[in-house]
Amino acid sequence: MKRYADLLTPDVARAARALTRVSTEVIGEAAAVDPARVRDFEHRGVSLDADSNHRLRAALEEYGVVFIAEDDDGGYGVRRKYSSSRIRQLQNWEAEGGPAFEDDS
């Protein structure tokens, strides 16, 4: 599978954020992009500069999505990095309790 090589499009960014289940505030902070700009990009197609677009993509990837390039078999898109069973396993680990560490923020 080829990686999605182009700049993010609004529809793919919106789908990726839906898969990650994070708010525009959270992803905007992670990408150093104003959340209002993220919303405008996703919902109204207001363009982002290339640097902001790349930071948004990187932040979404950090939150667990993989971008898929268009090929002869299908169109471009996005999917979860982990399978459903792996996600459940990760959620169980997170729910086990114990002290919070710096990676838990």
Domains along the sequence of the chain with CATH:
10-98 (1.10.260.40)
Query: Which tokens hold the place of 82?
Result: 């982990």
The confidence score (pLDDT) of residue 1 equals 46
Average pLDDT over residues 31-58: 96
pLDDT for 34 beyond 70: yes
User: How far are the Cα atoms of 24, 59, 71, 90, 101 from residue 83, in angstroms, in the given order?
Assistant: 24, 19, 22, 11, 25
Average pLDDT over residues 62-81: 88
Average pLDDT over residues 24-48: 96
pLDDT for 102 beyond 70: no
Average pLDDT over residues 78-93: 65
